Structure 1
């Protein structure tokens, strides 16, 4: 394809309009949640907060038992929260996550709860990008409820849908196909820096981080995770309940109906195939997520090597902010925009600065922060704005 034809390239989004605002089949779990679901999640998300995995610590805390982290809701979905944001066929396309906006309404998630996700396509727009020419930015809502009908959280996901051939032609994501090399000394220094955030959570313990003590301009402790690898991404994938055979009521989505290229479509969430040959229903082995774990397929959709999950990036940010807030605080709103994925071999660095403090219309004591996520070279991976509720003295 020549540069001239790139100017004339189009993206067929004609099917999307008929789906906007129409509820889809909800995501439903088959069995109540177990504490080990929370433990598996925080381990996969590199979030060693004792409140979510250590029985003895949690028993002495606010809830008297293990509680799920705020980021956990998406683990109970049947597709990373992406499904209502990718409904409708765009021929010969692929997608990556573009961002997540979260609202939290207060109820917590405990062992024994069952979650349902009400999914509703929201809107879309088509813009020209350096990544793949005409690109569709599509949004969809995920409304998470527990078994009592309590509204736990809303996740408004953004997917970036594009023609794989144009992404390959334009080659906008320029990075090495080889992982960076870390020296033993660099890895030791990285582990030391990673522990500083973990120690901050230990030092806070069951204590309260008071709104009164926060000043505009304060910087949150740096959180570092990585270096990422195929193994760490696979561990993340397995923490999402829908990736477990028989874990959820399958909605029976036809991935080819979304317009994914044939080699990336597969049988993910196919209830019939799950009974026949469940390996074919795993999106990481066969299907739309195989590019994350297999560099050969990553390069087919415009990525230089294995790369991480957008939904996990959102969880990293939520965990970062919630871990700082402590068990007496909570994230009430967070709007994250993803600029580029985590690649294998890279580390991820999260920083945040307090931009404002206020009492909102509901009488909550709120801290507003701006968050930034970069890799070890300082390249921006994501930005976020968030509101965190803290207790008052």
Structure 2
């Protein structure tokens, strides 16, 4: 764990409100309502994920599941704060936050319409390093345990948040100097993007699982592409996170914890905070597409104020893309057991994200008690800049 402040001439992160919170349970938002079939459909539509067992009622009823099930990635959509709440703990004045990565463990209990997830959250640790992007920068980690209404363990997440001084990031202008103008795609390029996208959409609609003995180290997964990313696509993604809907959650705290950081000011910069009181009357005061720390995702001027140069996508969305991509390949007799994704760059407006997956290992007898294959997954933009570096363990059937 780092010291209470990290200094550079004229630059300082005030971490005096952070140290005493490390390792402690925290509170947060809890959705009022169970997950509905419409919630599931909205999520997979926003994630550009075509698996019909998640949205096509007739197909799902005729499948082995007997009805709609949610994708494994939906756990983050049924949580508060894109899953990053336990990694954003303590007041750091004049700070902002972007996502640094996610690690997920899945336990084989699917989410169905009518289920409700409940979260247990804990602030794990942090470190401070010097970055070109913003100078002294905190990398903080938090844990979330997801259980359903029966107490059954569904998933665990360890999220990484990157917290920094927004004025310092703006002054350095790293992305401003690197990005240039938004790319204008030719019709030929767009047609090729759509061809690759369509091929992936149709690659495993019937959910056929590759057999463990049939796959080999060095095999590659079907290519996937998402984009070009637009304000419309970012807005669609944001609206699929249920806590963003007016009145969908309440604040809760773990019992017996003094100062559980339920909802306190993390130190957002000017005009980047919600107005919780006036939001009781005006829905826009709690809507991140109008106010709050997420506004820069769809507002280029706001993005520039926090060092991001132009509108950009969501870290939690990139993590969901990874899980969905792997689960689609694994089919209905397989599942994603574990992913560890490091977020290197945002998906900026106008860019396209390309997926490149390769089997790098096989484990016939794993700690999960099932055969696993290890997959190395990389998401990159059209210039080859890596957005996500992910390693995963995927369960496949033996026969």
| TM-score class normalised by the smaller sequence | over 0.9
Matching residue within 136, 139, 154 for 1:137:
139
- What does residue 230 of structure 1 align with? 231
TM-fit CA distance, 1:198: 1.3
**Which runs of structure 2 are paired with 1:69-84 in the superposition (5 Å)?**
69-84=71-86
Superimposed CA distance per residue, residues 60-116 of structure 1 (whole angstroms, 9 cap, x where no aligned partner)? 222111100010001111110111101101111101000000011111100010111
Distance 1:175 1:230, change over 3 A: farther
User: 1:277 pairs with 273, 282, 301, which one?
Assistant: 282
Q: Is the counterpart of residue 156 in structure 1 residue 164 in structure 2? A: no
Tell me how far 1:329 sits from its aligned partner. 0.8
Q: Confirm or deny that 1:190 pairs with 2:196.
A: no
Match of 2:96 in 1: 94
Cα distance between partner residues in 2 of 1:48 and 1:260:
37
| Residues 251 and 262, structure 2, Cα contact 8 Å, conserved in 1 | no
List runs of 5+ in structure 2 lacking aligned partners: 1-6, 254-260
2:269 corresponding residue in structure 1: 261
Q: Could you tell me which residue of structure 1 aligns to residue 395 of structure 2? A: 389
Q: CA deviation at 1:377?
A: 1.5
Give distance in 2, aligned partners of 1:342 and 1:22.
33
TM-score by length of 1: 0.94
Contact 2:352–2:381, Cα closer than 8 Å, also in 1 = yes
Q: Please identify which structure carries the higher helix content.
A: 1
TM (norm. structure 2) is 0.93
Quote how far apart the aligned CAs of 1:49 are. 1.1
Q: CA–CA distance in 2 between the matches of 1:159 and 1:103?
A: 18
**Residue correspondence of structure 1 range 32-43 to structure 2 within 5 A:** 32-43=34-45
> Structure 1: how far apart are the matches of 2:344 and 2:130?
15
Who is 2:63 aligned against?
61
- Whole-Å separation in 1 of the counterparts to 2:262 and 2:174: 30
CA contact 1:27–1:118 (8 Å) conserved in 2: no
Please name the residue that 1:368 is paired with: 374
Unaligned segments of structure 1, at least 5 residues = none
Q: What are the Cα deviations for residues 351-383 of structure 1, in whole angstroms up to 9, with x where unaligned?
A: 111110012134210000111010111111110
Alpha-carbon distance in structure 2 between the residues aligned to 1:266 and 1:107: 35
The residue that corresponds to 1:331 in the other structure is 336
1:349 and 2:357 are equivalent in the alignment: no
Q: 8 Å contact 2:251–2:263 — kept in the other structure?
A: no
Separation of aligned partners in 1, 2:178 and 2:21: 36
- Asked if 1 retains the 8 angstrom alpha-carbon contact of 2:27 and 2:251, the reply is no
CA distance in 1, matches of 2:352, 2:122: 34
Instruction: Identify the residue that residue 242 of structure 1 maps to in structure 2.
Output: 243
Which moves more between the two structures, 357-366 or 103-112? 357-366
Tell me the equivalent position of 1:170: 172
Measured against aligned partners, the alpha-carbon deviations of 1:12-51 in whole angstroms (never above 9, x if no partner) come to: 1121112222222253221221111010000001111111
DSSP-derived class of the 2:213 partner: helix
Task: Kindly indicate whether the alpha-carbon contact (under 8 Å) linking 1:62 and 1:206 is maintained by their aligned counterparts in 2.
Answer: no
Instruction: Give 3-state SS (helix, strand or coil) of 1:371's partner.
Output: strand
- Please tell me the root mean square deviation across aligned C-alpha atoms, in Å: 1.7
Contact 1:338–1:383 under 8 Å retained in 2? yes
Cα deviation for residue 199 of structure 1 reads 1.6
Contact 2:126 2:139 in 1 (8 A): yes
In the alignment, the residues of structure 1 paired with residue 98 and residue 34 of structure 2 have an alpha-carbon distance, to the nearest angstrom, of 30
